[in-house]
Amino acid sequence: MDQKLFQKQNITVRDKFYSMFIVKDVDVLFNRLVEKGESHPDFIDERIPYWADLWPSSIVLSEFILDNYSDMSGMRVLEIGCGLGLPGIVAGSIGADLTFSDYEQAALEVAENNWYLNNSRSAKFLHVDWRVPPEHLKFDLILASDVAYERKSYQNLIQTFKVLLKPEAKILLAEPNRAMARDFPEALVNAGFELNSNTFDYHFGNMNYKIFIHKIC
């Protein structure tokens, strides 16, 4: 992790405090991608550094975890598309056995640093490509915030859910009511999942958001 790009901040989730390395200027990462040129594999694969922002969905998902779970001890939890890793860190603070996954190695490095700012216990950090999910791993709960931002990834993401979930396991999916993702819940239902949804109004960075938390099984 390039320490020069980050600053440490304290994030409050309900009555708990978490320390996080936050990117000072995401545009620096975006410019680095552009500078690689259109023929570079990272540019072709559209590795836009979405992971580097602390999204409102991840904060609301973290609040939902604390509101609905008092103790996650013994629960195997995966945060998929983890970015900075706040929901996973929050779940870990109440006992969950955490695995963080992302397509970007840089995101995993930052999530690992953020985890150890807040936890002395170990966690796992796993590179996952939704197009080829690891079939040997199974989890009790999957956390996902702001992952359905491209329709072309829907079927790969749904297949990843199916591969990684234990029988009777659940997904907590947070989405900020983006127009491009509004048909993702329907795609999940069509794939055989059941949804129970809650809506939360959230004010963040001088903007108001409507965040959906979908509990999926």
H or E segment at 24? Answer: none
Q: To 5 degrees, how large is the angle CA 117–CA 52–CA 165?
A: 80
Contact yes or no for 198/168 (Cβ under 8 A): no
Question: In this predicted structure, what is the pLDDT of residue 43?
Answer: 44
Q: With left for phi above 0 and alpha for psi between -120 and 50, is residue 187 left, alpha or beta?
A: alpha
Task: Indicate the helix (H) or strand (E) that contains 152.
Answer: none
Q: Which residue has the higher pLDDT, 149 or 41?
A: 149
**Which residue in this structure is represented by tokens 């983890």?**
82
Nearest to 172 by CA among 131, 138, 137, 212: 212
List, as one string, the DSSP characters of 51-78.
GGS--HHHHHHHHHHHHH-S--TT-EEE
Confidence of residue 152 (pLDDT cuts 50, 70, 90): confident
Q: How far apart are CA 167 and CA 136, in angstroms?
A: 14
Chain-wide mean pLDDT for the chain?
87
Tens digits of residue pLDDT in 68-122: 999 999 999 999 999 999 999 999 999 999 999 998 888 999 999 999 999 999 9
Q: How far apart are CA 102 and CA 84, in angstroms?
A: 10
pLDDT cut 90: percent of the chain above it = 62
List, in sequence order, every residue forming a beta bridge with 38; answer none if it has no partner: none
For residue 82, the model assigns a pLDDT of: 95
Q: Is the pLDDT of residue 31 over 90?
A: no
Query: What pLDDT score does 111 carry?
Result: 96
- Amino acid present at 127: H
**Confidence category of residue 50, pLDDT binned at 50, 70, 90:** low
Segment 124-141 shows an average pLDDT of: 94
pLDDT band at 183 (very low <50, low <70, confident <90, very high): confident
Cβ pair 99, 76 in contact under 8 A: yes
